[in-house]
Amino acid sequence: MRPSFIRSSIASFVFTVNRFNFGSSLSHRSLVWLPAASSSPASLSRKSALVRKAHSDSNGLEGRTMSITENGCIEESDVQLFGKFKISRDQIFYSASNNLTKAFVNLRPIVPGHVLVIPARVVPRMEDLTEEEYIDLWKGVREVQRMIESVYGASSSNVAVQDGRSAGQSVPHVHVHILPRKDGDFERNDDMYDALQEWAPRDELQQKISLDVPEDDDRRDRTVIEMTEEATLYRNAFALKLK
């Protein structure tokens, strides 16, 4: 193998942490230094060994794009994965101190200030998050919501999660919508939910889910017995899960 080919191969080798799970010590632009590019196969072997070590030392964080540079270092690039989409660092305005949670501006906002908060690791459902990721995500939501409401002079917000495809999730990566609200921004308040149901970062990802929601006048109050029976059902389900 020619030395020039080896160097170009090293320079062009790019992978995501979905495959090599580097730990949280790799913050934005942080580096793990490897031996300099060399024509020696042994040098390439050493690089591979260090990549495997970084993988074994990881704590499972995924979603960051990494590359090996000409100088033989592993470097995190300036993007964050949102499902299969690459979010530029320039569009990310919030990053938790432990890098577990990110927030970024929206390609297709429903209202001014409509932003998304995500776990850095690409997972499709809330139940796939670790306890630490789950807690950190909602801490981030609270911080981002406060800031967005302050910027837009809003006194209220819609905070929404579509947890799974059947719930209208267009990107299989947990994400929380934050939409600052003002009086009169929608003719009918429920129109916001229709807009959120149709939201997608790309046209081809839009889903048409028909929900048969009765008008308020057509709804009836349930009886105390009906509600008690439902609450009992849920308590029993929790009890079975805890056994």
Residue with tokens 């020696």: 40
- CA–CA gap between residue 156 and residue 189 (Å, rounded): 12
Residue 183: closest CA among 146, 152, 143: 152
175 catalytic per annotation: yes
Burial of 58 (0-12, 13-18, 19+ CB in 10 A): middle
Residue 14: closest CA among 40, 51, 49: 51
Q: Which of 28, 114, 173, 175 is catalytic?
A: 175
- CA–CA gap between residue 113 and residue 151 (Å, rounded): 8
Is-contact 11 68, C-beta < 8 A? yes
Q: Catalogue the active-site residues.
A: 175
